[in-house]
Structure 1
């Protein structure tokens, strides 16, 4: 087989390498072309050198090209994969910093909440540019695979306004299933069968079977509470499991910022989170992790390049969906996964226009969703709160309507639990002004926003959050890794 895959945002070096090696685990895919594109020539150079080393070490005919000309990369591509973060860590820092001034403490801030909504405003105009290129120069039947957050908003914009065949992909379901299998004592996650459905980052394990035996709420609660690690790291998720009756896919820290109940006061935040790792609820945890990872990679790049000289180990192919979807579409080897698509009645008690994440099967005929799923009422209600925010956010990003943007932020569950309307209005003005270079659709609104900020009487505070940690230096990271290696 010979076809072309374009990866936009290929400068996400570690993730691009994973996608690349996963895809090359499919025997029929050795003779394909990968076209890498990114706004950073520096990052492109690093990832191309790594992928070239992998190709050389494995004696493959695979072709790798790299260009900052996105349209050239997309030209003729059958599959286009997006891993972009518009604004990079600079804009992301404002997604965390500015809401903290108004009392909004986020762990990740890339899905909804104040940070996730503004992240969507930056991404959606760029996503629509991708779609324009795909329509005009990609293969006639090209498929767009979006890995970029905010997943639902990006996918919604690409399908509804970009008019491109799009699927959103995430690994939250797989990670949640691995946890459940572990607490139930399974030898392998493959022993667990499940139906998991909802919206991205708020999917719910509504049916669980371990070796064919149905697992009920009481057994699952007992298993999590007895686990020596997860009982401490996932306190909030376990509480939601007790109250809702089903387990959420999303991490303790992520889930906490989609709900109005657990992060509204500093004392509540520290009660429900765990500081053993960023993902369990640390203030700005993913921003710290991402900054440390970037710094580490830049410093230790020669080691990453050297590691690329090793043969590809097919047994280590990851559970990221992309390679499995491509394999199913091209070879007709059926793949079952969980995909982000337009609902259109797949989940009976969520709106038809919403982007849902639910089970489907892939073969030569495409992605075929399992329809007729009904969520438990509490799960549907929680999803609905986010869907309403997502819909307004997408419409605001398309129209450049700053008043609609403010209404979207006002209706966010956590923002509404913490902030007054006056605070929300000022916070959005401040974020739009700070991120104006990445928000072309709001250029007309920036002067008035600056004027309002100059006259505002709404008080803010400089607050690091309830559970903030400093970014560790390279030396600290080296010492920590050495200590872990010695302990093993």
Structure 2
């Protein structure tokens, strides 16, 4: 087989390498072309050198090109994969820093909440530019695979306004299933069969079977509470399991910021989170992790390049959906996964226009969703709160309506639990002004926002958050990795 895959945001080096090696685990795909594109020529050069080394080490005819000219990369591409972060870590830092001034403490801030909504405002205009290029220069039947957050907003915009065949992909369901399999004592996650459905980062394991035996709520709660690690790291998720009756896919830290109950007061935050790793609820945890990862890669790049000489092992193919979808579409080997698509009745008690994440099957006829799923009422209610925020956020990003943007932020569950309307209005003005260079649709609104800020009487505070850690130095990271290696 010979076709072209374009990766936008390929400068996300570690993730691009994973996608690349996963795809090359499919024997039929050795003769394809990867076209890498990114706004950073520096990052492109690094990732192309790594992928070239992989191709050489494995004696493959695979072609790798790299260019900052996106349209050139997209020309004739059958598949386009996006893993972009518009504004990079600079804008992301504001997504965390500014809401903290108004008492909003986020762990990740990339899906909803104040940070996720502004992230969507930056991404959606760029996503629509991608879609325009895809329609104009890519293969006629090109498929757009979006890995970038905020997943639901980006996918919503690409489908509804970009008019491109789009599927959103995330690994949260797989990670949640691995946890459940572990607490139930399964030898392999493959022993667990499940139906997981909802919206991205708020999907729910509504049916669980271990080796064919149905697992009920009480057994699952007992298993998590008895686990020596997860009982400590996933306190919030276990509490939601007890109250809702089903387990959520998303991490303790992520889930905490989608709900109005657990991060509304500093003392409550520390009660529910765990600081053993950023993902369990640390303030700005993913920002710190991303910063450390970038610094580590820049410093240790020669080691990453050397490691690329290792032969590809198909047994180590990851559970990221992309390679499995491509394999199913191109070879007709059926793949079952969980995909982000427009609802259109797949989940009976969520709106038809919403982007849902639910089970589907892939073969040469495309992605076929399992329809007729009904969520437990509490799960549907929680999803609905986010869907309403997502819908307003997408419409605001498309129109550049700053008043609608403020209403979207006001209706966010955690923001509404913490901030007053006056605080929300000022916070959004401050975020739009700070991020104006990435928000072209709000250019007309920036002067008035600056004027309002100069006259505002709303008080703010400089606050690091309830559970903030400093970015570690390269020396500290080296020492930690050495200690972990010695412990093993």
TM-score range, shorter chain: over 0.9
Whole-angstrom distance in 2 between the partners of 1:393 and 1:75: 31
How far the C-alpha of 1:368 sits from its partner, in A, is 0.1
Q: What SS does structure 2 have at the residue aligned with 1:312? A: coil
Q: What SS does structure 1 have at the residue aligned with 2:254? A: helix
How far the C-alpha of 1:442 sits from its partner, in A, is 0.1
How far the C-alpha of 1:465 sits from its partner, in A, is 0.2
How far the C-alpha of 1:321 sits from its partner, in A, is 0.1
Whole-angstrom distance in 2 between the partners of 1:363 and 1:461: 54
Whole-angstrom distance in 2 between the partners of 1:362 and 1:486: 43
How far the C-alpha of 1:76 sits from its partner, in A, is 0.2
Q: Which residue of 1 aligns with 2:471?
A: 471
Q: What SS does structure 1 have at the residue aligned with 2:460? A: coil
Aligned-pair RMSD on alpha carbons? 0.2
How far the C-alpha of 1:416 sits from its partner, in A, is 0.0
How far the C-alpha of 1:71 sits from its partner, in A, is 0.3
- The Cα offsets for residues 417-465 of structure 1, whole Å up to 9 and x where unpaired, read as 0000000000000000000000000000000000000000000000000
How far the C-alpha of 1:168 sits from its partner, in A, is 0.0
- The Cα offsets for residues 464-483 of structure 1, whole Å up to 9 and x where unpaired, read as 00000000000000000001
How far the C-alpha of 1:103 sits from its partner, in A, is 0.1
Aligned residues: 488
Structure-2-length-normalised TM-score: 1.00
How far the C-alpha of 1:264 sits from its partner, in A, is 0.0
Alignment of 1:3-402 (within 5 A): 3-402=3-402
Q: What SS does structure 1 have at the residue aligned with 2:431? A: helix
Whole-angstrom distance in 1 between the partners of 2:484 and 2:458: 47
How far the C-alpha of 1:215 sits from its partner, in A, is 0.1
How far the C-alpha of 1:313 sits from its partner, in A, is 0.6
Whole-angstrom distance in 2 between the partners of 1:119 and 1:374: 30
Whole-angstrom distance in 1 between the partners of 2:487 and 2:96: 34
How far the C-alpha of 1:301 sits from its partner, in A, is 0.2
Whole-angstrom distance in 1 between the partners of 2:486 and 2:54: 29
How far the C-alpha of 1:309 sits from its partner, in A, is 0.4
Whole-angstrom distance in 2 between the partners of 1:479 and 1:17: 26
How far the C-alpha of 1:353 sits from its partner, in A, is 0.0
- The Cα offsets for residues 97-140 of structure 1, whole Å up to 9 and x where unpaired, read as 00000000000000000000000000000000000000000000
How far the C-alpha of 1:141 sits from its partner, in A, is 0.2
- The Cα offsets for residues 357-404 of structure 1, whole Å up to 9 and x where unpaired, read as 000000000000000000000000000000000000000000000000
The structure 1 segments of at least 4 consecutive aligned residues displaced by more than 3 Å after TM superposition are: none
Q: What SS does structure 2 have at the residue aligned with 1:194? A: strand
Q: What SS does structure 2 have at the residue aligned with 1:193? A: strand
Q: What SS does structure 1 have at the residue aligned with 2:34? A: strand
Whole-angstrom distance in 2 between the partners of 1:175 and 1:248: 11
Q: What SS does structure 2 have at the residue aligned with 1:454? A: helix
- The Cα offsets for residues 271-306 of structure 1, whole Å up to 9 and x where unpaired, read as 000000000000000000000000000000000000
How far the C-alpha of 1:319 sits from its partner, in A, is 0.1
Whole-angstrom distance in 1 between the partners of 2:406 and 2:485: 48
Whole-angstrom distance in 2 between the partners of 1:255 and 1:487: 31
Q: What SS does structure 1 have at the residue aligned with 2:126? A: helix
Whole-angstrom distance in 1 between the partners of 2:309 and 2:196: 38
Q: What SS does structure 2 have at the residue aligned with 1:462? A: coil
How far the C-alpha of 1:242 sits from its partner, in A, is 0.1
Whole-angstrom distance in 1 between the partners of 2:192 and 2:278: 27
Whole-angstrom distance in 2 between the partners of 1:382 and 1:483: 41
Whole-angstrom distance in 2 between the partners of 1:267 and 1:416: 18
Whole-angstrom distance in 2 between the partners of 1:328 and 1:479: 43
Q: What SS does structure 2 have at the residue aligned with 1:382? A: helix
Structure 1: runs of 5+ lacking an equivalent: none
Whole-angstrom distance in 1 between the partners of 2:127 and 2:75: 16
Whole-angstrom distance in 2 between the partners of 1:445 and 1:319: 43
How far the C-alpha of 1:35 sits from its partner, in A, is 0.1
How far the C-alpha of 1:56 sits from its partner, in A, is 0.2
How far the C-alpha of 1:26 sits from its partner, in A, is 0.1
How far the C-alpha of 1:18 sits from its partner, in A, is 0.1
How far the C-alpha of 1:415 sits from its partner, in A, is 0.0
How far the C-alpha of 1:342 sits from its partner, in A, is 0.0
Whole-angstrom distance in 2 between the partners of 1:202 and 1:74: 32
Whole-angstrom distance in 2 between the partners of 1:486 and 1:373: 48
How far the C-alpha of 1:188 sits from its partner, in A, is 0.2
How far the C-alpha of 1:73 sits from its partner, in A, is 0.2
How far the C-alpha of 1:145 sits from its partner, in A, is 0.1
- The Cα offsets for residues 6-54 of structure 1, whole Å up to 9 and x where unpaired, read as 0000000000000000000000000000000000000000000000000
Whole-angstrom distance in 1 between the partners of 2:321 and 2:75: 23
Whole-angstrom distance in 2 between the partners of 1:220 and 1:314: 33
How far the C-alpha of 1:191 sits from its partner, in A, is 0.2
Whole-angstrom distance in 2 between the partners of 1:338 and 1:395: 26
Q: What SS does structure 2 have at the residue aligned with 1:408? A: helix
Whole-angstrom distance in 2 between the partners of 1:56 and 1:27: 16
Whole-angstrom distance in 2 between the partners of 1:108 and 1:192: 29
Whole-angstrom distance in 1 between the partners of 2:99 and 2:214: 43
Q: What SS does structure 1 have at the residue aligned with 2:391? A: helix
Q: What SS does structure 2 have at the residue aligned with 1:66? A: strand
Structure-1-length-normalised TM-score: 1.00
Whole-angstrom distance in 1 between the partners of 2:191 and 2:66: 41
Structure 2: runs of 5+ lacking an equivalent: none
How far the C-alpha of 1:243 sits from its partner, in A, is 0.1
Whole-angstrom distance in 2 between the partners of 1:274 and 1:57: 42
